[in-house]
Amino acid sequence: MSNPTNRLRMAAKIVEFEGRRDSQGRLKVYFLPAGDGGGNFEVAGINDRYHPTEAAALRGLVEAGNFAEAEAAAQRYIASYTDAGDRWTPFDAVESYLRDCIFNRGAGGAAKIYQGALGVGVDGDVGPITIAAGERVEPAACLRQLRAARERYEREVARRDESSPFWRGLVNRWNNALAFAETFQDLGGNAGPSPAGERDAGEAGNPASEREPRPGEQELTGTEEALARRESGEEEGAATVDMNIRVLPAQLPSRSRSVRPTLVVLHATAGASAMSSINHLRGAGLSYHYIIARDGRDSTWTRETDNSTPIIFHCVADDREGFHTGSTIPAPSGEGRINKCSIGISLANLQSGGERYTPGQITALNQLLAHLKRTHPSLRHLTNHALVQPWNRADPLNINAGELAAAHGYTLFQPTAQQIREHRPP
Residues 7-31: tens digit of each pLDDT: 989 999 999 999 998 888 889 999 9
Would you say 251 and 288 are in contact if contact means Cβ atoms under 8 Å apart? no
| Percent with pLDDT over 90 in the chain | 61
Domain span(s) for CATH 3.40.80.10 in the chain: 244-423
Between residues 357 and 202, the one the model is more confident about: 357
> What is residue 335's predicted lDDT score, i.e. its pLDDT?
77
* Superfamily of domain covering 244-423: Peptidoglycan recognition protein-like (3.40.80.10)
Given CA atoms 91, 94, 100, 106 in this order, what sign does their dihedral have?
A: negative
Q: Is the pLDDT of residue 220 over 50?
A: no
Q: Is the pLDDT of residue 202 over 70?
A: no
Between residues 118 and 334, the one the model is more confident about: 118
- State the pLDDT confidence band at 203, using cuts at 50, 70 and 90: very low
Overall average pLDDT of the 257-266 stretch: 93
CA dist., res. 327 & res. 342, Å (int): 12
Overall average pLDDT of the 316-323 stretch: 92
Would you say 96 and 181 are in contact if contact means Cβ atoms under 8 Å apart? yes
CA nearest neighbour of 329 among 253, 387, 244, 260: 387
DSSP H or E run through 14: helix 4-18
Partners of 412 in the beta sheet? 382
Question: 60-64, 113-117, 237-241: which has the minimum mean pLDDT?
Answer: 237-241
Overall average pLDDT of the 131-153 stretch: 92
The domain made up of 4-196+216-232 has a fold known as: Chitosanase, subunit A; domain 1 (1.20.141)
3-state DSSP percent of the chain in helix, strand and coil, to 5: 45, 10, 45
- State the pLDDT confidence band at 340, using cuts at 50, 70 and 90: very high
Q: Is the pLDDT of residue 193 over 80?
A: no
> What is residue 53's predicted lDDT score, i.e. its pLDDT?
92
Overall average pLDDT of the 390-411 stretch: 95
Q: Which long-range contacts (CB under 8 A, 24 or more apart) does 35-41 make?
A: 36/222, 36/225, 36/226, 37/221, 37/222, 37/225, 38/220, 38/221, 38/222, 38/223, 38/225, 38/226, 39/222
Given CA atoms 182, 274, 406, 170 in this order, what sign does their dihedral have?
A: negative
DSSP 209-259: ---PPPTT----HHHHHHHHHHHHT-STTPPP---EEEE-SSPPSEEE-SS
CA nearest neighbour of 305 among 330, 332, 279, 273: 273
Given CA atoms 161, 35, 55, 108 in this order, what sign does their dihedral have?
A: negative
- State the pLDDT confidence band at 189, using cuts at 50, 70 and 90: very low
Residue 271 CA: distances (Å) to CA of 53, 73, 350: 55, 47, 5
CA nearest neighbour of 140 among 92, 189, 212: 92
Overall average pLDDT of the 249-270 stretch: 92
CA dist., res. 181 & res. 317, Å (int): 9
Q: Is the pLDDT of residue 302 over 70?
A: no
Q: Is the pLDDT of residue 41 over 50?
A: yes
Q: Is the pLDDT of residue 186 over 70?
A: no
- State the pLDDT confidence band at 218, using cuts at 50, 70 and 90: very low
Domain span(s) for CATH 1.20.141.10 in the chain: 4-196+216-232
Neighbours of 160 (CB within 10 A): 17
DSSP 27: B
Question: 107-121, 176-190, 225-239: which has the minimum mean pLDDT?
Answer: 225-239
